Amino acid sequence: MARIYDQYVSKMQKIADIGHSIAVLSWDKEVNLPKGSAVRRSQQMATLSGIAHEEFTDPKFGKLLKRLLPMRTINDKERKNIELTLKEYKKATRFKKEFVIRRSQAISKAYHSWTAARQANDYNLYVDDLQNLIELKREEAKIIGFEQHPYDALLDIYEPGATVVELDQIFNDAKKGLKTLIREITSQKQVKSSFLKKYYPKNKQWDFGLEVLKNMGYDFNLGRQDISQHPFTTSFSSEDVRVTTRVDENDLGNMTWSCIHEGGHALYEQGLPSSEYGLPSGAAISLGIHESQSRLWENQVGRSKEYWSFMYPRLKKYFPENLKNIKLNKFYKGINKIAPNYIRTEADELHYHYHVLIRYELEKKIMDGSLNAKTLKTAWNRLYKKYLGVVIPDDNQGILQDIHWSHGSFGYFPTYSIGSFYAAQFFRQAEKDIPKLKQQLARGKTDKLLKWLRKNIHDHGQTYSAKEICERVTGEPLRFKYFMEYANQKFRPIYKLKV
């Protein structure tokens, strides 16, 4: 029996090797690739994508999975691996190799036209390649299949089991709760944050970012940080997890919290069991859970007063002139300023979810055919006016700000908000389980929190679903109310509102 299951493991690890080779080429594309190399790189990635698809959809592999599933001699974790792999196998066999290659080529082309459009601040340079990708994603949704809304097919890729019906309810709850708190905050005197917009030299920001990552527990023996247009984390195994950031010398917050955010993603990937490489039990549960890790570190930890009680004196050593008259309390309030803005990645914790909501509403309409690439910009600008009350000044601060659509990642954005809501619920439980957690953070001790996350979330891979892991860890399903409790407890004192 062990030999048959080992055949499955060997096959999965071979497929993982190919997939991670594509990931290496993709990482290099966004970090190092020379401008004239895009076409050949697209071909290389498309070829490997086709090979990976052929390997995974091999009929012999399908027979192996079906043979293994009913066997009584495999344990529960092994059976779960087989079940999850068989689900993906059935989905993958609906796609022809030609479609997989065509999709890979379209993604590479869209990425490079997005980059060119960003450089020129001109959405028109991107619109045709984006439309081609949109048509492919609509085709993909039909191939996968769905019961109610075509968007459900794409949501399932990133957050298995999620549906438009479910997310509509979550976002409706969020809109109601956030609107009330934001309205109260708006009626109060605004906190000051101009000290974050002084000149902060790139090399010093970079060095501080490395210190932040080390303090979180990120293992530089198994990873590295680089610069990219859009911060991201990529993993080639739990022994090679890389992060990127971007530095704006006139905005300290841009790099600082992108380092913490991506560091949270990286800690999850480094915490996955290495012995389960290539298997579902060695992979992240969902992007909602992945985002819960990055958002927990970014916000519950990285924007807390306790965390900066330890880190702020270290930050001041890098920038003594800029921060010499800024006391900890003023810094804490400034980094938690609540005000509408244009850029999702720079948004505060409350308005952030309106940024996500806008993308969610647009993607639903893209998938049902009521929006296309040519009408998308107008719809984007209209929703920003409606929900955030801002007028988009140009394409880079509007529709070109995110890399996700150029990657074909339709269905990804809702996981940012889902992850934030999971993060609040998880951190609330961590405070119950870890004695004096906030006092530990105030001393720069993050190891017990990381150990708690590893034990309760990272170590399990996909052995449990997102909903199951939430109930195992917190004793109940995802509840938006815990995010609102966290937000009220935090922002009411900052803005001197009634508790």
Calculate the dihedral angle through the C-alpha atoms of 78, 80, 85, 88, rounding to the nearest 10 degrees.
180
> Residue 213, Cβ neighbours under 10 Å: how many?
22
> How far apart (Å, rounded) are the C-alpha atoms in residues 226 and 40?
23
Tokens of 387: 């929900």
Identify whether the C-beta of residue 424 lies closer than 8 Å to the C-beta of residue 486.
Answer: yes
Pairing of strands 223-227, 240-245: parallel
Coil, strand or helix at 69? coil
Whether residue 223 contacts residue 241, with contact meaning beta carbons closer than 8 Å, is answered with: yes
Residue 300 DSSP symbol: I
- Residue 259 · residue 245 · CB < 8 Å: yes
| Distance from C-alpha of 24 to C-alpha of 338, rounded to nearest angstrom | 38
Q: Rounded CA gap, 436 and 191, in Å?
A: 29
Short-list 100, 19, 15, CA closest to 58: 15
Name, in order, each residue with C-beta under 8 angstroms of 478's C-beta and a sequence gap of 6 or more: 418, 421, 422, 425, 467, 470
Cα of 311 vs its chain's centroid, Å: 25
In this structure, is the dihedral angle defined by the CA atoms of residues 268, 274, 275 and 276, taken in order, positive or negative?
positive
Q: Catalytic residue positions?
A: 262
Cβ atoms within 10 Å of 409's Cβ, excluding its own: 19
Q: What is the DSSP letter of 299?
A: I
Token readout for 355 is 């940024």
The length of the chain in residues reads 499
Q: Which residues pair with 241 in a beta bridge?
A: 223, 235
Q: Return the exposure string of 155-183: e unless at least 16 CB atoms fall within 10 Å of the residue's CB, then b.
A: bbbbbbebbbebbeebbebbeebbeebbe
How far, in Å, CA of 439 to CA of 189, rounded?
30
Strands 240-245 and 233-237 come out as antiparallel
Give the C-alpha separation, 332 to 326, whole Å.
10
DSSP 322-354: HHTT--HHHHHHHHT-----S-GGG--TTTHHH
